[in-house]
Structure 1
């Protein structure tokens, strides 16, 4: 029931997780509190489904990145992930994610679901970096896993700063470009070896 999940998203951004009730979600929906309880039972069960819903949105965002070269693909990914801070929909999405992250130390199932978010981003970044090394566009001395981990941590940190202290994530764009130029790009790019 997508409408209930969308209502959950709106209610979460408005009330936060700790104070959120099924009634708050019903108030954002055309469904009654009883209907939501019927479909999901508890707030915790609803949030498990809600996280799956967010995961599908998140992975679709990442999969929308493209480029003719690995470098273009990486820049496309960063453009998507270091979103325009004036976009209220993206702000709301990151607020919702941060609210959920706050529950992870106390809820193993939430933590497991959030690990999937993290792994998806890291895996995509690593695949792009590996492709860049194969084509000779990126430095073959770098470890793709370490570089992907660094980029993932930096991006997630930018999202947290945006939500908590209103620091625009796009400010990181210049630093990311410098990182790519200094550490990822091959100083002497060559053609990829024949297959």
Structure 2
């Protein structure tokens, strides 16, 4: 079913961008494939089941894309992780915002839907773990201050990134400001001596 699943997941992505969560139907998704609605129901009993599978699909791609960020030092890896989250590899800014809008609609269902809530929690837990591990490595290597609490710092970074994405969708606020401020936080608060050689670059952006 791998090829068919990939086709359905791609179709779900396109349909969500076009219709949003509330108005999305199985027929909308089928229309984005060469499958009939009946064939789609053969693989997924309901829109709910399909969207849960879609979130699992996104999770697999997300963890592969942002896990183990590039960089020789912990501050470099933290910045790479932030960029990977704020700027997902899509064709253009409109597509990025359209997809973030669809995800925000899914997040809005989480308080009422255990399946969606559990899957979204996986994203947060994974991301928190990535930041925490990089910070732990930095403390051990002497590039991150020893008095930094990795769990608290990781939670702050994840929460701020989530808020930046929400603001981008809700009120059209660009994420560049969040990137600059988070970069300054890394370089002036987390990094040993408050400077890893890039503060001037942050000020000049």
Partner deviation per Cα, 1:28-47 (whole Å, 9 max, x = no partner): 11211111011101111111
Partner deviation per Cα, 1:10-66 (whole Å, 9 max, x = no partner): 111111111111011111112111110111011111111111011112112212621
Partner of 1:193 in structure 2?
A: none
CA RMSD of the aligned region, Å?
1.8
Paired with 1:182 and 1:62, the residues of 2 have a C-alpha distance of 24
Displacement of 1:187 in angstroms is 1.6
Matched, 1:99 2:92: no
Q: Which of 91, 112, 120 is the matching residue for 1:114?
A: 120
Matched, 1:54 2:58: yes
Paired with 1:59 and 1:93, the residues of 2 have a C-alpha distance of 17
Instruction: Note closer, same or farther for the CA distance 1:164–1:188 as it changes in structure 2 (3 Å cut).
Output: closer
Q: Structure 2 matches for 1:18-57, cutoff 5 A?
A: 18-57=22-61
Instruction: Note closer, same or farther for the CA distance 1:57–1:188 as it changes in structure 2 (3 Å cut).
Output: closer
Q: Structure 2 matches for 1:28-177, cutoff 5 A?
A: 28-63=32-67, 65-83=69-87, 86-177=92-183
Partner of 1:192 in structure 2?
A: none
Displacement of 1:162 in angstroms is 1.0
Q: Is the 8 Å Cα contact of residues 137 and 185 (structure 1) preserved in structure 2?
A: yes
Stretches of structure 2 that go unaligned for 5 or more consecutive residues are: 196-205
Partner deviation per Cα, 1:71-125 (whole Å, 9 max, x = no partner): 1111111121121795344334322321210110110111011100000011000
Report the TM-score, using the length of structure 1 for normalisation.
0.90
Structure 2 counterpart SS, 1:97: helix
Partner deviation per Cα, 1:123-175 (whole Å, 9 max, x = no partner): 00000111111111011001000000000000011111111111111221221
Structure 2 counterpart SS, 1:103: helix
Stretches of structure 1 that go unaligned for 5 or more consecutive residues are: 190-195
Which shows bigger deviation, 119-128 or 65-74? Answer: 65-74
Structure 2 counterpart SS, 1:102: helix
Paired with 2:188 and 2:167, the residues of 1 have a C-alpha distance of 25
Partner of 2:12 in structure 1?
A: 8
